[in-house]
Amino acid sequence: MLTFEANMIEMSSSNYLITGFSGFVSKHFIDFLEHNKIHAQVLGVDINDIDFSISNYTYVKCTFEKANLLNKSEVEKLITHFKPDYVLHLASYSSVALSWRMPVESFANNTNIFLNLIETIRLSGINCRILSIGSSEEYGNAQDGSIHLKEEHVLNPISPYAVARVSQEMLSKVYTDSYGMDIIMTRSFNHIGTHQKDIFVIPSFARQLIALKENTSVTKELTTGDTTIIRDFVDVRAVVEAYYLLFMKGKKGEIYNICNGKGTSLNEVIQKMAAILNIEVTQKIDPTLVRPNDNKVIIGSNEKIKKDTGWENKYTLEDSLKDILDYYKGRS
C-alpha cells in the first residue's frame, strides 16, 4: 500500500477518463487505485469490448463506454458529460509490428485520436490534467552509443509507430505552450505483466514455453524473432504507480521516462523463463517475426521521475516473469 503523501493529496473522489480501456494497463491502473483505497470515478473508453470485470471494486466506481475516438461528436459527448479531472490516454495501435504492416492506418489512428481528444478538451474549457503516453521507441537507435537514455536525448524514430508517438508528443507540447493546457508526457519503456495480450513478445514466449513444458516430446523448440535485441523491461504495476504519481506530482509540459534502467536481451528473458519452468529449449527464428528495422538496444534513465515524484520500481524482472508464467498456466 502507498506510504507517500500523494494518497493524502487526493482526499475526495476524482474523475478519471481512461482511453484504450480494453488494454492490460487500464486494469492494473484501477487495481492500483483500489488497492491503495483511492476514491475515484473512472470512465473507461475503448472501441473494443473489455474482457475483465469492473463491478467488484469498493473505492473505484467504474463505468465503460464503447466509443470511437476518431468520431468528434462521440468524444465531445464523453468529455462534456463526464468532465474528467484526469485523463489517462492509453488508446493506440500499440504494436510496432502492426505499424509495419499497416503504416497508414497506424499513424493516422494514433495521431488523430489524440488530437481529437485534446482539441475537444480545449474547446470545452474543462480544466483537467492529461497524461499523454508515449514510448521508448521514440529514441530509436542512439547514434552516439548512449546507454541510459535521458529525456533530453535526440529522438530517432525508426518505425511508423515510433513516428506517430513523436508526433503525439509534439502535439502535446504545442497545446501546452500555445493554449496552457496541463499535459504531461511519458516515454514508457517495455512494460510487462499479467493480462497482456499474446501478440506481444513476452506473453507470446510465456504461452509457448508453458505448452512446451506440458509437451512430453524430447525436443522443445521455441519460435522467435530476433532475440539479440536488448530492452528495458518494467513491471506494469510499477508503470501504473508512476502514472498516478505523475498525475499528483508531475510537472506540466514535462516528459518523463518510465523505465527500469537495466537492459535485458530477449534471449536472456527466454532463459530466465525456461529456468523458472525447469525446462531447456532451443530457438527457431521465424523470418516473418523479424522487423524491417529494429532498435538493437533501448535502456532508459529514470532519474527524472524519481527526482520529481519519488517513484521507485519495486519489482524485479524475475518477479514479473514468474507472475506472467503463473497467469498463463492453463491458458495456453
Global pTM reads 0.92
CA 260/CA 162 separation, integer angstroms: 20
Amino acid letter for position 78: L
Classify residue 19 by burial, with Cβ atoms within 10 Å: 0-12, 13-18, 19+: buried
Average pLDDT over residues 52-70: 95
Buried b (16+ CB within 10 A) or exposed e, 105-136: ebbebbbebbbbbbbbbeeeebebbbbbbbbb
Average pLDDT over residues 56-84: 96
Domain-wise residue ranges, the chain: 13-194+233-261+299-314
pLDDT tens profile 75-108: 999 999 999 999 999 999 988 888 889 999 999 9
Percent with pLDDT over 70 in the chain: 91
SS (H, E, C) 260-287: CCCCEEHHHHHHHHHHHHCCCCEEEECH
Q: Is the pLDDT of residue 5 over 60?
A: no
State the pLDDT at residue 145.
54
DSSP letters, 125-185, are: T---EEEEEEEGGGG-S-TT--SEE-TTSPP---SHHHHHHHHHHHHHHHHHHHH--EEEE
CA 173/CA 185 separation, integer angstroms: 9
Confidence of residue 152 (pLDDT cuts 50, 70, 90): very high
State the pLDDT at residue 137.
93
Q: Average model confidence (pLDDT) for the chain?
A: 91
CATH number of the domain at 13-194+233-261+299-314, out of 3.40.50.300, 3.40.50.720, 3.30.365.10, 3.40.50.2300?
A: 3.40.50.720
Confidence of residue 286 (pLDDT cuts 50, 70, 90): confident
Q: What is the DSSP letter of 27?
A: H
Q: Which residue has the higher pLDDT, 126 or 4?
A: 126
